[in-house]
A and B are shown apart, each in its own frame.
Chain A
Amino acid sequence: MEPEEEDFRRTISDTVLIKRMLKYLFAHKKLMFFALVMMITQTIFFALGPYLIKIILDNYIAQKRRSEFTIIGSVYLVVVILRVIPMYVQRWLLLKAGEKTIHNLRRDTYEKLQDISMEYFDNTPVGDSLARMTTDIASIQPIVSGEFLMAFSSLFMVIGGLIVCFSISLPLTLLTLSLFPVIIIFAIFQRRFVRKKWDDYREFNAKYISSMAEEISGARVSQSFARHEYNRLDFDKLNEEFYQKGVSAFRWSSMFSPFYETYTKLTIVLVLFVGGSMTLQTQGAVTVGSLVLFILYLNSFLEPLMIIAGLYALIQTSFSAFERIVILLDMPPLITEIDNSKPLDCHSGKIDLNDVTFSYSSGEAMVLDDFSLSIQPNECIAIVGETGSGKTTIISLISRLYDIQDGSIQIDGQDIRNVTLSSLRQAIGVVLQDPFLFSESVRYNLCYGKEASNEEIEKVLKLISAEFVYKLSDGLGTKVGERGGWLSLGQRQLISFARALITNPKIILLDEATSSIDPQAELQIQRALSKMLENRTSIIIAHRLSTVRAADRIIVLDKGKIIEEGTFDELLAQKGDFYNLHQLQFRQEEN
């Protein structure tokens, strides 16, 4: 198993998770401080209530002081009403802090996905990241939106209640506490069983989302192969398993509320029984009033205790999700900038690959093994070779989408690992094989790498004869649909060409992008490219004779090795592999 997979499966202790969650919650200090103040106020008012009742019982009702009864009754009423205000404010503040936490978590996971290396995307289904960013975050909402913080106010109440209980009756309090270990044992049991179930559930949720994301993206394939019935069977299986996992997790979780309910009620029964016989002993140790008071405080102490315990159960479900988020957040970006990395100074565009060794993941076959290539400023290199010979890999490595295992890649004498990623990628214009457009306007897509004026855009579009853009229904403002699906592939390619040129890069990397453009459009692009490649260093993966001929140097690649290199005429004269390839692929009428 690769290290990053291990990372992905590793578990994080609850202590660490709680610390991380608190860090998020307390990012809003003012908010939290105010909430804390409200909590304490609420607790004080809360604690005052039962005490007033005791006074009413013992001092007024028992002594039949009817005339002063209205006054003390009104005091009680005011206390109860005043208690509600901090309760509301505190709850509102906590919910706000919770929503902010969710907001920040979304932001952090998003930023993580922006920085994370290609290797992560190669190895992780889209749905898994989607699940972490959406449903996993959503399922921690209940705990961060108040519940987690309610535990704090509950903690205050438990401590406050305990102190009062001790002052009323030591033996009764000790009796109550003697039942306490039961809860602890139960909580440990709960942690062990429930958490595992919820981990399974959340993992399956990600699997479900991945599967659905793929199902939707592949709808055209499914429909064209009439997969309806088979897909339904597959889905039923998936859905059934999802259901079972949910049921099994809830079967355990549901046990807790009834358990704690039983526990608290049993405690009260015990206190009533023991305390009741204590009042009957008439030695004046315990009055009926203080017994009632004790039970009232016991309630206000057991109830928050139940909230904490209930929260612990809730935490299990949410922490399964939170753990998945933290794991994503803690993933080291495999492509990192070194400390004090400088912006790339790409003045001439010289590229050197020195003894480069690379494979996509450890244990897999080397794509490049001890590969060296030096490209002069403004040189145009054409790479020729069969599918899988490593052409695309070379391009990915120069823009540092992956890091090499051995050797070095330098641009104008600077190791690409020592320069900032943004400066590196700004210096390189890449046209990918599959032009990916975003579901925004044409303009948005053209300016994806750099904001440009209408004049600049027009200049580039003209250069590559992509003026068709202006004939679209809304011109530059035309929406292109998801992945550019409302445009034809040829149009998408033209736009991706323009997108690469608009940043005015010193280096251009072109990956087979010309293969699907119709001949007329391609001729236009060939002409435009030759203009654009002036004063730029370029590497082009091409199947086209015209491209190969125009190149300053051709490299024939086979299984990650250069088997031939030279100019078009030199290679033909050699009568080697290129000659054979040319015979098969490029032979044409010399006119």
Chain B
Amino acid sequence: MEQHHITRLGVVLGQGQALGTRIFQVIENVPVVQDDPNAVNLPEDGKGEIAFEEVSFGYKEEPVLENITFSIPAGNTVALLGGTGSGKSSLINLIPRFYDVTTGTVKIDGIDVRNLKLESIRNKVSFCDQETFLFSRSIEENIAFGNPLATKEEILQVAKASQIHDFIESLPDGYKTVIGERGVTLSGGQKQRLSIARALLADPLIIIFDDALSSVDIKTERKIQDALEALLKGRTTIFITQRLSTIKFADRIIIMEKGTIAEQGTHTDLLSKNGIYKRLFETQIDGLLDLEIIEEVEDES
């Protein structure tokens, strides 16, 4: 048969070379972000203090962040506010080293993140993203994604705190329900609540909510916030948010504008400054803010 002829070797080799090149491009690609040979683990008794020192950063030479300096004491909660494209998401991407800074340093517990083992950082930093990515596995596995050894009790605990337990129980297979199968599609809000449960179960030192409650209705948001209060104790927390209702949690507020920090301080500080925050605050009151929350914030500060 013709395919056995040795003359075919040339054709086959040519095809193989073309395919092989593409495969080896992937295999030999050197990750830009990788462990330094002398990288260390975060200390076991890490507290989760975050410090940005004169950080600048850009994608493809386009500067996104410029000269950012701030620190978050361990266990504190910070609300990060800012308009579309102000650099909030880029800023938090630098903490778990999804990208490396262009200049300056990002430190966790006083150690430059570039001197830490990636796995050690990422074990201690959890994310709840704006858009939740879930895997087509069971709900249980999705919640335990960052902590596959978690017990059923731990899973139930975080699911309840995230106000998603009742919904999961209402599904035909409960926690064993496989996402994406047989039309099991979740609404944006349900996905976000699962992502909160997932982040909590990883038991992180630092937890970042990137507009993670945007698709949850305010009633549910409040329930989640109440439940979160206890669970976030002792963890350094960053909330990126558009809703001022979330600032109820924050020890401090950072306002970003065009890649720089425009204002930072407590709610009272910022209101007295008569700047962006005040304007933002008034806009939202004008729009939709819950009176109770404002009162609470004002009482607390």
Contacts and interface: CB of A to CB of B under 8 A. Distances in A.
Interface residues of A, number: 62
A125 B288 contact: no
A588 B83 contact: no
B19 to A, nearest CB: 11
Interface stretch (B44-52, B175-183, B225-233, B260-268): B175-183
A318 to B, nearest CB: 14
A226 interface: yes
Interface in A190-228: 210, 214, 217-218, 220-221, 223-228
Contact of B136 (A214, A588, A591): A214
Contact of B280 (A221, A223, A386, A519): A519
A388 B85 contact: no
Contact of A225 (B83, B145, B181, B286): B145
A518 interface: yes
Interface string A506-544: 000000100111111111000000000000000000011
A518 B188 contact: no
A8 interface: no
B162 to A, nearest CB: 12
Contacts of B190: 387-388
B290 interface: yes
Interface stretch (B70-78, B105-113, B126-134): B126-134
Nearest to B89: A488
A519 B62 contact: no
A534 to B, nearest CB: 21
Contacts of A581: 219
B32 interface: no
Contacts of A228: 119
A545 B288 CA distance: 6
A566 interface: no
A468 B86 CA distance: 12
B215 interface: yes
Contacts of B187: 387-388, 392
B133 A519 contact: no
A99 interface: no
Contacts of B242: 515-519
Interface string B194-216: 00001000100000000100111
Contacts of A468: 84-85
B80 to A, nearest CB: 12
Contact of B85 (A307, A386, A488, A588): A488
Given A468-B84, A473-B62, A489 B136 contact: no
B149 to A, nearest CB: 10
Interface string A468-495: 1000010000000000001111110010
25 contacts: A119-B183, A123-B181, A123-B183, A125-B180, A217-B133, A223-B98, A224-B98, A224-B127, A225-B145, A226-B122, A226-B146, A228-B119, A303-B1, A307-B1, A386-B219, A387-B190, A387-B220, A388-B187, A468-B84, A490-B85, A515-B214, A519-B242, A519-B284, A523-B283, A589-B286
Given A516-B211, A521-B83, A387 B217 contact: yes
Contact of B122 (A223, A307, A523, A591): A223
A587 interface: yes
B167 A225 contact: no
A584 B222 contact: yes
Given A122-B183, A226-B118, A589 B218 contact: no
B172 A364 contact: yes
B221 to A, nearest CB: 9
A591 B286 CA distance: 8
A520 B287 CA distance: 10
A544 to B, nearest CB: 6
Contact of A364 (B96, B98, B129, B183): B183
B133 A221 contact: yes
B167 A388 contact: yes
A113 B98 CA distance: 35
A226 B180 contact: no
Q: Which 8 A-B pairs have the closest CB atoms?
A: A490-B84, A225-B146, A226-B122, A387-B189, A360-B183, A516-B214, A545-B288, A585-B218
A273 interface: no
Given A224-B126, A434-B131, A591-B286, 14 more contacts: A220-B127, A224-B125, A225-B146, A227-B145, A361-B182, A361-B183, A387-B187, A388-B187, A433-B188, A490-B85, A516-B214, A516-B242, A520-B280, A545-B287
Given A125-B136, A585-B219, A544 B287 contact: yes
B291 interface: yes
A34 to B, nearest CB: 20
Contacts of A486: 59
Contacts of A364: 172, 182-183
Contacts of A494: 84
B283 to A, nearest CB: 5
B98 A220 contact: yes
